[in-house]
Amino acid sequence: MLDIKLIEKKGKEIGEKLARRGKIVGLSQLFKLIKARKNLVLQLQSDQQILNIESKSLCNATSIEIGQKRTLLRTLSRCIKKNEEKQRDFNRRIQNLLLSLPNIPLDEVPAGNSEKENQEIKRVNKPRIFNFKVKDHVELGESIDGFDFKRAAKISGSRFVFLRGSMAKLNRALLNYFLEFHSNFGDEEMVPPFIVCENTMIATGHLPKFKKDVFEINHVEKPYYLIPTAEVPLTNYYAYEILDSTQLPLRLCAYSPCFRSEAGAAGKDTRGLIRQHQFEKVEMVRFVKPKQAITELNLMVERASKILSELGLAHRIVSLCAGDLGFSAQKTIDIEVWLPSQNIYKEISSCSIFGDFQARRAKIRYRKNIANKKKGKVDFVATLNGSALPLGRTLVAILENHQNIDGSVNIPKVLWPFMGGLKKLNKQII
C-alpha cells in the first residue's frame, strides 16, 4: 500500500510515476477525497474549538445566558457528530482506493507498456540443437506413463494432473534438491500454512485486486483462502512486529502447493503443466533494509539462474518494463527457460522488490537504533520474493531439453542422489 502522507505531499509526482504503468483508475478520485477530508478535518477542528470555548463559558454564565447558548451548543454537537461520520466514510473510501492502487515503479525500471518491451539482460547457456523432431512435455510424459490428465479431470476437473511412478519421484527429487540448495546458502527453511485468512491476502496485495484469481473457502466464521504462493504466509510471518536492524536481511524459503483459478487465462498455455490450477513451488522471501533491496534482488536472481544451470537448462534473464510489472512490485526480473517444443523462452522464475508496499499493509517494521529501544527510530522493512523454482515448469523444461530420440529422458546429474540410482526416465522402468 502506498504511503498516504507521501501522496498528500507529492501527489503530482506520484501520479506521474504511476502513469508509467499505464492508465491508473481511481487516482484522481483519491486526490479529491484527500482534499475533501482535509477540509472536513479543518471544519471539525474549528467546530470542536468553538464548542469547547462555549462550553467553558457556561461556568460563569447566568441562567438566561445558558438558555441562550444551549441551542448553539446542540447545533454544534449535531454538526460535529455528522461530520465525524463523514470523516469515517472518507477514511473507508480512501483506504479502499489505496488498496486498489499498484506500487510505484523504481526509476531504473525500463519504460514500456507490455512484455514486448521488456529488456533482456543476458542469456545463460545455449539451447540444445536436436537432430530429431522434438516432442513436447505432454507427449513425453504420457509416453512413459508419468502423466495422467484424464483421471485427474475425472476427479477434479480440467487443469489438474496425476504424476505417476518415476515422474512423481523426479518431482520429489526436484523438491529435495531445491530446498537443499537454498538451505546450503543460508536460507531458513519453513513449512507454512496453506490456508490463510483475508487480512493475510490483503497484506501481500493479492486482495482485493485479484479476488477472481484465488480459491476462496466459504467457512462458517469468515472467508479463508488457499494460498496462491508461499510468498503469502511467509511475508506475513512477521506481521505487526518490530524487528531489530541487526536481524536484517532475513532470508526464508519454503515449499508449498499453490492454488490459482487463473480466471483471466482461459485458452492460454492450458496444455499440460504450464498453467495448472494446482502446482508446487519453492519460494524465497526476504526482509531487508530499503538500501539492501537491490543487492538481495540480484542475489535471488543469481540463485535461480544457478539452479537452472546445474540442471543443464538454457535460460535468459529479463528486466520487466513498467507496464508489465505485477501489482505489488517496484522492480521485477524474470528468468525464462528455453522450451524447444515451442521454440521460445518461457517464464520460470520471477524475482521482485516490493519496497514497503507489503510491509505497510502487514505493519512489519524494524528499529534502526537498537541500543535504545524506546527512542530508536522505527521504519518499514522492504520485502522481496522470488520463485526458485516451480516444480511443474521445471519438469517441463527437463523433459523437453533432455529428451532422447527413443522418447526417454535423461535425468540431470545433480538430481541423481535424490533418484535412488535412476538416471533416465523411460516406460520400461515404471
Positions marked catalytic = 260, 275, 347, 350, 393
Is residue 407 packed enough to be buried (19+ CB in 10 Å), middle (13-18) or exposed (0-12)? Answer: middle
Give Dmax (Cα) for the chain: 106
**Rounded-to-integer distance, Cα 329 and Cα 18, Å:** 12
**Rounded-to-integer distance, Cα 254 and Cα 283, Å:** 5
**Rounded-to-integer distance, Cα 82 and Cα 48, Å:** 13
Q: Which residue has the cell 522402468?
A: 429
- Smallest CA-to-CA distance from 180 within 258, 257, 287, 255 is with 255
Can you read off the three cell numbers belonging to residue 285?
522471501
**Rounded-to-integer distance, Cα 206 and Cα 135, Å:** 36
Can you read off the three cell numbers belonging to residue 54?
462555549
DSSP annotation of 135 = P
**Rounded-to-integer distance, Cα 289 and Cα 356, Å:** 10
Can you read off the three cell numbers belonging to residue 114?
507490455
Contact criterion met (CB below 8 Å) for 243 and 250? yes
